[in-house]
Amino acid sequence: MTHSDDDTPLDPAEMLALLERQKRQVTLSYVRPVAWLYFVWGFAWLLGFVLLWLARVVDWLPLGVAGTAFGVLLIASIVTSAIVGTRIGRGVQGASNFQGAVYGISWSLSGAAFAAVGMGLIHNGLSPELASLYFPSAYALMAGIMYLAGAALWGERSQLVLGVLLLVVGSISPFFGSPANNLVMAVGGGGGFLVGGLYFVLFMRRGQRGGA
Amino acid sequence: MELDPVIHAAARLRITATLATLPTGDRMSFPRLQELLDMTAGNLSTHLRKLEEAEYVEVTKTHQGRMPVTYLALSKRGRRAFEDYTDALRDLLGASE
């Protein structure tokens, strides 16, 4: 795309088009990394929970291996999110820094809180069978609430949809029992992220066509 | 209707439109602004100076470690001027249809 950076004013219609194009370009610079994050998380949930499910239904996959793979996928996604998150906000400072910092820390804090509850339950005799229902659900509920908070903070509808979906997935998955609850998480949660990513890709395509 | 001559130039319209996407209370660094606009540093500086002279843009100079960084934001006056300009543009186009 070429820009006329000189002082010559264009006619009003061209100026309005230029204005819209620039606004879209700025929006796209925020949307592009979010689309990538949705794909990363979708992949992690889908693969991770399918592995956890597989470990309980086949002989060749030990639960320890599946659990480790799940942990690695999760940590990789968290690191990616942290890096991408700081990159989205790079070069901008001011009032919104507080919002961003609180939001970022809230993920770790609520993750730790939900994990602690699980530990407390296990300590008081929660069986491994029930723990395998609790942890995925607690994780989905936590993520759901965080996405709802994100939707409120940044007025972002895709996070609203994702947040509600994760709350639904988290609350219905225990009814399927173990290990099928993992499949509900994989398809519902992972699938939700992937659809979210696709939505953004389509949004960007439309944006580019509209801006051409 | 008279269109604000400070904003009514392609480069300055794009600068103002980009800074207007920031929520009030936030500022954008010069390099980030340059990246979003795809303009040369010299060209961007020239136009920013005009916007600063009109008191549409507020400049904050600070340090990140030992590196000096310039942050830019629309002033209250600049944000109002941009909204007025956008309204005027839409009015003009609406009237000509």
Q: What is the mean pLDDT of residues A20-43?
A: 92
Q: Is B63 exposed, middle or buried, given 0-12, 13-18 or 19+ CB atoms closer than 10 A?
A: exposed
Mean pLDDT estimate for chain A: 91
Question: pLDDT digits over B19-58, tens only?
Answer: 999 999 999 999 999 999 999 999 999 999 999 999 999 9
Question: pLDDT digits over A45-92, tens only?
Answer: 999 999 999 999 999 999 999 999 999 999 999 999 989 988 888 899
pLDDT of residue A156: 87
Mean pLDDT estimate for chain B: 93
Contact B10 A6 (CB under 8 A): yes
What ipTM goes with this model?
0.90
* Calpha distance A21→A12 (Å, rounded): 14
> Given a cut of 80, is residue A209 above it in pLDDT?
no
Q: How confident is the model at residue A2 (pLDDT cuts 50, 70, 90)?
A: very low
Whether A170 and A138 have beta carbons less than 8 Å apart is answered as yes
Of A3, A8, A12, which is closest to B92 when you measure between CB atoms? A12
Domains of chain B, earliest start first: 10-86 (1.10.10.10)
* Calpha distance B71→B58 (Å, rounded): 8
Chain A positions touching B28 (Cβ under 8 A) are 91-92
Whether B70 and B29 have beta carbons less than 8 Å apart is answered as yes
Residues from A in contact with B at Cβ < 8 Å:
1, 3-10, 12-13, 15-16, 18-19, 22-23, 25-27, 29, 90-96
* Calpha distance A13→B66 (Å, rounded): 45
* Calpha distance A163→A171 (Å, rounded): 12
